[in-house]
Amino acid sequence: MRGIGVDIIDLDRLDIENLHFVERILSVNEYQLFCQMKSKQRRLEFLGGRFAGKEAYLKANHKGLGGIDFHDIEILNDKDGSPYLNDKHALISISHEKKYAIAFVVVEK
């Protein structure tokens, strides 16, 4: 199976003060990183990038929302800062600009 997916999110739509919402989006490892971030803007960018990345991953895998639980999709960073998915067949790119985050995923299996 091959696929591509892209998603963009307006960071103003995210409520990072609602920890129940944040915990529904992030894996345990992602949540630990989120909690270590000092600024609200960095937390917004991180959460928005993960949200967009997971949505893009679902699209690339031809799954609808809920097709794969967000906790089962994990996006971490290499030592150089580049993001990677917990799927060795998938590549991801995440970008932020002011109040938006966008992610692009390619899956080749």
All domains of the chain in start order, with CATH = 2-108 (3.90.470.20)
Q: Does the pLDDT at position 106 exceed 90?
A: yes
The predicted structure's pLDDT at residue 99: 95
The predicted structure's pLDDT at residue 92: 98
Using alpha carbons, select from 60, 61, 59, 55 the residue that is nearest to residue 75: 55
> Who's near 55: CB < 8 A, 6+ residues apart?
5, 7, 9, 65, 103
Which contiguous run of DSSP H or E holds residue 20? helix 19-25
Query: Tens digit of pLDDT for each residue in 42-85?
Result: 999 999 999 999 999 999 999 876 778 998 999 999 999 999 99
**Biggest CA pair distance of the chain:** 40
Residues known to be catalytic: 59, 96
Q: Does the pLDDT at position 22 exceed 90?
A: yes
The predicted structure's pLDDT at residue 70: 92
DSSP 3-state of 19: helix
Q: Would you state the structure tokens that stand for residue 40, as one six-digit string?
A: 């609200």
The predicted structure's pLDDT at residue 85: 98
